Each structure stands twice: as structure tokens, then as C-alpha cells.
Amino acid sequence: MTKIRDIAKRAGASIATVSRVVNGSGYVSAGMRARIEAAVRELDYRPNAGARAMRSGSSRMVGVLLPALDVHFFGILAHTVEQALFARGYQAMICSTAESPEHEAAYVGAMLAQQVDGVIMAAVASDGAGVGRLVAAGVPIVAVDRALPGLAAVAVDHHAGGRMLARHLLDLGHRAIGVVGAPDHSAPVQERLAGITAELAGAGLAPVAVRLGAEHGFEACRALADALLGEVLPTAIIGTTDMAAIGAIHAAAGRGLVVPRDLSVIGFDDLPAARYTIPQLTTVAQPVREIGQAAVERLLALMEGKPALPPPVLALRLVERGTTGRV
């Protein structure tokens, strides 16, 4: 590794002067600056991040704690957060807890050890302990996707989303509506379910059946929906995520039901996968990319001690495609 001393030697300057040009601080003569910049280029010099963080107190790193990267929603979120951070000169430290409390604890520890300047965390199942340590250490935090008590949050109104889901079906004349969702420990899923129930209640109805599962993979969702259809036959099924809805479509097909003629299906998220089925999935879209960007903006404001930004307007949008129809 080439270090600041090597550059100083090569450019015939002192390390202080090199530091000045590298950091653009203080006065340096044009000639000296040119010589130093040349040396930096030739030796591909990178100031050691650890030493720099130690000295300056800032690591220019932001921790990003997500439940999983292999769930497409979080992969997309991680991507946008990371790009937004990069554009602002920060480095993302992306961690995926695999929904395990031990992993979460370990990662929180790693973030503390890395002296991250801030943390963006999304939907970690078992919060509490981890968040507490971060807060205790005075690290600025922004919650994404799901709110965390006492913390700034950037999340869509999942309850309102649930209402939209139910409302759309109600408007189409459906009265017998089932709900399928996973993972059941996810707060957003629970909130959407509450929204659905509330909207239905407004029409004097209740879901004819609700099936929540722990696993959010395709096969688990399909099985869940299949079990529901084996018990009652609603005219419509709401998936609390696109994944659940896609599972429902398959369960319906497995039972010889034609979507949307025999059964309407609607999802939530509008992931790319919502367009993969035929007919394509009707769903309520949440603006993942805006969520990521807003979270970064908010965190940076917090880190810079700026006045708290007003909560972002995150619009939910009903995307009518082919899986819902009049009863």
C-alpha cells in the first residue's frame, strides 16, 4: 500500500503539504500541487480510510441494515439507497440479517466498530436490542419501510395501502374476499391487513378468510392460498405482497379457476414480478426508489444536524392490470 509518506518523498514535499492537496484544505503553491497530484496519480495513492476515520472522527460510511438481500424488494431498496449514498460521497455498509437476531446483533456491533456516521434500517423483525445500542451510541438512524418508535421514518402508509386494496375490490362488486399474506411477523404486512379489515368493516364486511404464513417464498405462498381455497371460495383474494398474490394465482390455476373470471387477485408492492404473470397482476405500487432516496436525504440531514425535513410524501398508486375484474 502506498501511503502519504511515499507521495511526500516522491514529490519532494512534506506529508502536511500532501495532506493539504489531497483534502483541498489550506494554501499550496500551484507548482507543488501539480507535482503532488502527479505523484498521487502515478502511485495510485488512497488515504487509508481507517486512519482517516480515526483522525477525523467520521468514516463517511452509512450502515444499511436489511432483513435480506435475496428478497427482491430489499435488493432494489439496497440498490437505490446505495446509489443515493454514493452520489453524496458516502459509502454504504450493507448488511442483511437473514432475519436472525444474532446476525442483527453482530452487524450492529460491526457498524459501531466501523464508526458509521449513520444507519438506515428496514423492517428488521427483532428490533429493540440492536436499535437501542445504536441509539445509545448516538448514531443517527432513519427507519425505512416500517417505522420504529421514536425514530425518523420513511415508509409508505401501509394501512392506507390495505384500504386501497379492499376498496378496489369493493368497487368491483366483490363481497367475499379472502386475504393471503407473508411473512406474518412483518409489521407492514400486519398494517396492510388491518387496513383491509378496516375498509371492509366500513362496508359492513369482514374477510371470509385470512391466511398468514411465516415464509414468504413462492411455494409457501402458493400453499397458503391453496389451503384457503380449499376451505372457502371467495370471489377475490388479496395478497399482502405481490409474492402472496402470485401464489394465489397459481393456487387458483391449480384448482381450475380462471383469473379474473372466477377469482380476482390483487397484490401489493408492484415489484417487477407483478408483470410476469399472465394476465399481469393488478397491484398497489409503492415507490421503492423514492423511499430509498428520501431515507438517504433524511439521514444526511440528521447527520449534518439540519432541521428535520418534513415527512416525505410517498404516494401509493393502484395499478390496474389484468387480474381483477367485476364479480
Partner DNA sequence: TTGTACGCGTTATCAG
Partner DNA sequence: CTGATAACGCGTACAA
What is the smallest separation between the CB atom of 10 and DNA, expressed in angstroms? 12
Of 26, 109, 128, 173, the one binding DNA (CB under 7 A) is 26
The amino acid occupying position 289 is R
The amino acid occupying position 25 is S
What is the smallest separation between the CB atom of 243 and its own copies, expressed in angstroms? 9
Q: Which is nearer to DNA, 14 or 129 (CB)?
A: 14
Contact, 180 vs 211, CB < 8 A? Answer: yes
14 binding DNA? (CB under 7 A): yes
Contact, 143 vs 203, CB < 8 A? Answer: no
Q: Within its chain, how far is the Cα of 270 from the centroid?
A: 14
Work out the angle at residue 90's Cα, subtended by the Cα atoms of residues 84 and 96, and round it to the nearest 5 degrees: 75
DSSP-derived 3-state class of residue 267:
strand
Q: Which is nearer to its own copies, 173 or 254 (CB)?
A: 254
Q: Which of residues 68-127 bind its own copies (CB under 8 A)?
A: 68-72, 74-76, 78-80, 82-83, 86, 91-96, 98, 103, 106, 109-110, 112-115
Q: Is 89 exposed, middle or buried (0-12, 13-18, 19+ CB in 10 A)?
A: exposed
319 binding its own copies? (CB under 8 A): no
Of 23, 102, 150, 173, the one binding DNA (CB under 7 A) is 23
43 binding DNA? (CB under 7 A): no
> Quick one: which of 182, 177, 226 has its CA closest to 205?
177
Q: Which helix (H) or strand (E) holds 239?
A: strand 236-239
59 binding DNA? (CB under 7 A): no
89 binding DNA? (CB under 7 A): no
* 35: its cell numbers: 507535482
- Partner from DNA, its own copies, none binding residue 19, C-beta < 5-8 Å depending on class: DNA
Contact, 172 vs 231, CB < 8 A? Answer: no
Of 10, 34, 37, 56, the one binding DNA (CB under 7 A) is 56
**Preceding omega of 260 cis (within 30 degrees of 0):** yes
CB atoms within 10 A of CB 114: 16
Of 34, 38, 42, 51, the one binding DNA (CB under 7 A) is 51
Q: Applying CB under 8 A, which residues contact its own copies? A: 1, 44, 46-54, 59, 68-72, 74-76, 78-80, 82-83, 86, 91-96, 98, 103, 106, 109-110, 112-115, 133, 136-137, 217-219, 246, 249-250, 253, 272-273, 275-278
Q: Applying CB under 7 A, which residues contact DNA? A: 1, 3-5, 12-17, 19-20, 22-23, 25-29, 31-33, 45-48, 51-52, 54-56
